[in-house]
């Protein structure tokens, strides 16, 4: 509790579901974190690992991650963001390779029947109800769920073309590939250890259409990586940052025309001010799904953020309640 600078004991507010009709011109924003993908249910080859399990899983694939040992490896396991920060200091020129390995790791994950992302699209009636899917994750579970529902993905906000579901990847995505000729930049190492922020390459984005395309890109390129943010407090984007900045701007725009915000599987992490700063403003109801409800409600109280409710602990148990919210729309 003290991390938020408030000492008064928190009284947990459990949700009383309002079933009021919503203005038809407003949308719903869903904000997903790593806990959403981890807890989304049936996935192939398995659920994406969460927290302390992620780095050992990454190491098991070999490559640069497997060469990290001793104190740095333990730091990655205890806090991946702190580990990434220290890796940046100690092994800066290996960072691009590590980003490629992370993109390769997340590329193959797909939702199977019964997955919560697929069920959520059903609840929303495809594109019949306006919704924006915002995620901090690098994986493609949301995109696969949309495609499996016979819809299309639009990497932008509303309005979207017919049959398109808006998806905003505010920390980048494993399928955001720099739009360059193969090996156009090759045999070059970059040392940004003395740089505060900054990027290596600005280029257009080519959206990969398959896991194989992502994996082939990462195997064949030796100097560039997909546009994914550093998994560290800075969330710095080394490759194609302009497109990720566009995603983040559309995230802010989506908050201006929404009637409800659902936060699923994302802990309160005040370092991510581009997320929790905008959420602390406004009066739009926020519904939280996760295993840290007291942290969320303490954040809400400390920011005087009214209409903040705990909906459920898990993605699966939240779905019937989300359905109740939307049945009268």
Residue 252 placed within a domain: yes
Q: Which residue has the higher pLDDT, 88 or 329?
A: 88
**Is 4 a member of any domain?**
no
Q: Half-sphere exposure of 105 toward its Cβ, with a 13 Å CA cutoff?
A: 24
**pLDDT tens, position by position, 279-309:** 999 899 999 999 999 999 999 999 999 999 9
Question: Strand 27-32 and strand 131-135: pairing?
Answer: parallel
What pLDDT shows up at residue 14? 36
**Number of domain units in the chain:** 1
- Kindly state the tokens that stand for 211: 């896991």
Digit-coded pLDDT (tens) for 158-211: 999 999 999 999 999 999 999 999 999 989 888 776 666 678 999 999 999 999
Please indicate, yes or no, if residue 7 is contained in any of the structural domains.
no
Indicate the length of the chain as a whole number: 329
pTM, two decimal places:
0.90
Task: Identify the three-state secondary structure at position 284.
Answer: coil
What is residue 141's predicted lDDT score, i.e. its pLDDT?
A: 98
d(CA 287, CA 262): 5
Torsion angles phi and psi, residue 326, rounded to 5: -100, -5
Tokens representing residue 72 in the block: 């740095």
Decide if 37 contacts 265 (C-beta within 8 A): yes
Q: Which residue from 221, 232, 241, 186 is spatially nearest to 100, judged by alpha carbons?
A: 221
Does some domain include residue 5? no
Cα torsion through 76, 79, 84, 90, rounded to 10: -60
Asked whether residue 160 is domain-assigned, the answer is yes
**Confidence at 261, pLDDT banded by 50, 70, 90:** very high
Query: Is residue 11 one of the residues assigned to a domain?
Result: no
Give me the pLDDT at residue 246, please. 97
Angle, vertex CA 245, rays to CA 244 and CA 247, nearest 5: 65
22 pLDDT exceeds 70? no
Please give the residue that has the higher pLDDT: either 16 or 45: 45
How do residues 46-104 score in pLDDT, each as one tens digit?
A: 999 998 899 999 999 999 999 999 999 999 999 999 999 999 989 999 999 999 999 99
pLDDT digits (tens, 9 = 90+) for 141-152: 999 999 999 999
Structural domain harbouring 259: 19-329
Taking the C-alpha atoms of residue 193 and residue 102, their distance in angstroms, rounded to an integer, is 20
- Would residue 130 count as lying in a domain? yes
Tens of pLDDT, residue by residue over 108-142, are 999 999 999 999 999 999 777 799 999 999 999 99
- Does residue 2 form part of some domain? no
pLDDT for residue 9: 32
Instruction: Count the neighbouring beta carbons within 10 Å of the beta carbon of residue 179.
Output: 13
């Amino acid at each position: 509790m003290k991390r938020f600078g408030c000492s008064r004991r928190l009284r947990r507010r459990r949700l009383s579901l309002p079933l009021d009709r919503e203005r038809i011109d407003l949308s719903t924003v869903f904000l997903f974190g790593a806990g959403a993908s981890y807890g989304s249910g049936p996935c192939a080859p398995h659920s994406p690992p969460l927290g302390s399990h992620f780095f050992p899983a990454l190491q098991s694939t070999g490559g640069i991650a497997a060469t990290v040992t001793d104190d740095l490896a333990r730091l990655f396991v205890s806090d991946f963001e702190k580990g990434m920060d220290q890796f940046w200091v100690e092994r800066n020129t290996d960072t691009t390779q590590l980003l490629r390995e992370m993109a390769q790791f997340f590329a193959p994950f797909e939702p199977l029947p019964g997955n919560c992302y697929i069920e959520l699209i059903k609840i929303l009636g495809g594109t019949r109800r306006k919704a924006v899917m915002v995620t901090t994750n690098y994986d493609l579970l949301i995109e696969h769920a949309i495609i499996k529902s016979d819809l299309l993905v639009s990497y932008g906000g509303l309005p979207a073309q017919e049959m398109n579901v808006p998806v905003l990847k505010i920390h980048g995505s494993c399928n955001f590939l720099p739009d360059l000729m193969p090996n156009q930049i090759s045999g070059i190492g970059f040392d940004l250890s003395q740089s505060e922020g900054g990027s290596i390459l600005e280029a257009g984005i080519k959206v990969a259409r398959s896991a194989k395309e992502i994996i082939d890109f990462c195997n064949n390129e030796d100097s560039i990586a997909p546009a994914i943010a550093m998994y560290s407090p800075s969330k710095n984007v080394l490759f194609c940052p302009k497109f990720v900045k566009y995603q983040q701007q559309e995230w802010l725009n989506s908050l201006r025309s929404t009637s409800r915000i659902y936060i699923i599987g994302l802990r309160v992490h005040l370092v991510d001010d581009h997320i929790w700063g905008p959420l602390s403003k406004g009066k739009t109801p926020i519904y939280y799904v996760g295993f840290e409800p007291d942290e969320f409600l303490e954040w809400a109280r400390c920011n005087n953020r009214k209409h903040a409710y705990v909906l459920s602990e898990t993605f699966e148990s939240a779905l019937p309640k989300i359905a109740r919210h939307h049945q009268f729309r």
